[in-house]
Structure 1
Amino acid sequence: MNRLDDNLREAKQVDTLIDAFEQAFFPRYNTRLVRGDDEPVYLPANDVCAFHKIVFAHGFFASALHELAHWCIAGKARRLQEDYGYWYCPDGRDEQAQRMFEKVEVKPQALEKAFSIACQRAFQVSTDNLHGAEPDRAAFTQAVDRQYYHYCEKGFPARAAQLINVLAQTFGGEDAAAQAQKQVA
């Protein structure tokens, strides 16, 4: 396969992901997954747009899964605020800021791992700090894995479990129950 074929296949899978999310979640949550041209952002409904938007970066499938993970964790009040009311510390973080970043990213990235498995896609943690302090990628990967196994053992958040099942049906990977069962065995 050449790069053009890969790009077309990726774009089709992104369209499929957007459609699957729309069908499963828009009626209840008035939320759409939107392909963005720049950095990801969550935008609540307002006077200009009647629905909430999960905007993922540059049309990348992995970015969509990551932003969906943040949405699955955010509570109702947070989902009424731009970017869930969080301040994002951009690339170039010092060691302390990077540790804080990793601390709050463990749960979303554990969900992203589950979503990736449901989509039959490879998962890699993202330390997202190319121009700052060198992160301890191995330790962060272990923390994400521990949280993933915790979710498998104790249960995924409700919207995350629903999304895992939708993704598994759509892309042929393992649903939430299968992922949990595999970890117990």
Structure 2
Amino acid sequence: MHQISDLKNIFDTQFADSHNTRLVKGDDEPIYLPANDTCSHHQVVFAHGFYASALHEIAHWLVAGDARRLLEDYGYWYCPDGRDKAQQAEFEKVEIKPQAIEWALSVAAGFDFNVSVDNLNGEQTCRFSFQNRVYQQVMMLLEGGFNKRTEQLLKALSAFYKTTWPLQKEQFSWDCPQELEDVI
């Protein structure tokens, strides 16, 4: 049901002309590459042809402003898997909004969403606490509205996959373990 070629077509139809940006299947780590001497268009490169990776990288692109979209990987700091507790806290802090948007994209596409703490070889933190912060950000975005590019893509995904538009709060739920509800 969720073909990467469909997602690429939807994204490229929405943004190739207006933003000179295309979604590209990569072989290794995901990266954003602005247009340069060897490639005339900006590239949102996702990992290994994975649909979830593409949605995640698109979400980062949707968060980035005009100036950031002229910088490789938007000019942001990235510390790879194996982060200590402080590095992981910083990672989670900057990932809340992109993952909230990724969740919205997933709902619009009828695709299952899972938060990613992306630190399998590092110090573990409470995934449920992070998911709760991402959920709260989704609720704020639903109430306050998404930016123009995000709304444009959400509508296109919803039309293609025939999901409910506009998105509703009830479409976003997750099971928090009972023993953690009071903690988070």
Pick one of 158, 175, 178 that aligns with 2:167: 178
CA gap of 1:181–1:123, structure 2 versus 1, over 3 A, is: closer
1:135, distance to aligned residue in structure 2 (A): 1.7
Paired-residue identity, %: 52
What aligned pairs does 1:49-88 form with structure 2 within 5 A after superposition?
49-88=39-78
What aligned pairs does 1:73-152 form with structure 2 within 5 A after superposition?
73-152=63-142
TM-score between the two structures when normalised by the length of structure 2: 0.90
CA gap of 1:118–1:130, structure 2 versus 1, over 3 A, is: same
Q: Distance in 2 between matches of 1:108 and 1:162?
A: 16
1:182, distance to aligned residue in structure 2 (A): 6.6
Paired residues of 1:102 and 1:127 also in contact (CA < 8 A): yes
TM-score between the two structures when normalised by the length of structure 1: 0.89
1:24, distance to aligned residue in structure 2 (A): 1.0
The amino acid that maps onto 1:79 is R
Who is 2:10 aligned against?
Answer: 20
Question: What is the number of equivalent residue pairs in this alignment?
Answer: 172
1:173, distance to aligned residue in structure 2 (A): 2.0
Q: Distance in 2 between matches of 1:141 and 1:168?
A: 23
1:87, distance to aligned residue in structure 2 (A): 2.1
Paired residues of 1:91 and 1:132 also in contact (CA < 8 A): yes
1:114, distance to aligned residue in structure 2 (A): 0.3
2:143 maps to 1:153: yes
Q: Distance in 1 between matches of 2:18 and 2:63?
A: 16
- Give the aligned CA root-mean-square deviation in angstroms: 1.4
The amino acid that maps onto 1:179 is Q
1:153, distance to aligned residue in structure 2 (A): 0.5
Q: Distance in 1 between matches of 2:171 and 2:28?
A: 37
Q: Distance in 1 between matches of 2:126 and 2:87?
A: 13
Would you tell me which structure has more helix in proportion to its own residues?
Answer: 1
Unaligned residue ranges in structure 1 (runs of 5+): 1-8
Paired residues of 1:94 and 1:133 also in contact (CA < 8 A): yes
The amino acid that maps onto 1:112 is E
CA gap of 1:141–1:181, structure 2 versus 1, over 3 A, is: closer
Residues 25-64 of structure 1 show CA distances to partners (whole Å, capped at 9, x for unaligned) of 1110000000111100000000110000000000000000
Who is 2:179 aligned against?
Answer: none
1:165, distance to aligned residue in structure 2 (A): 0.6
Displacement over 4 Å in runs of 4+: 180-183
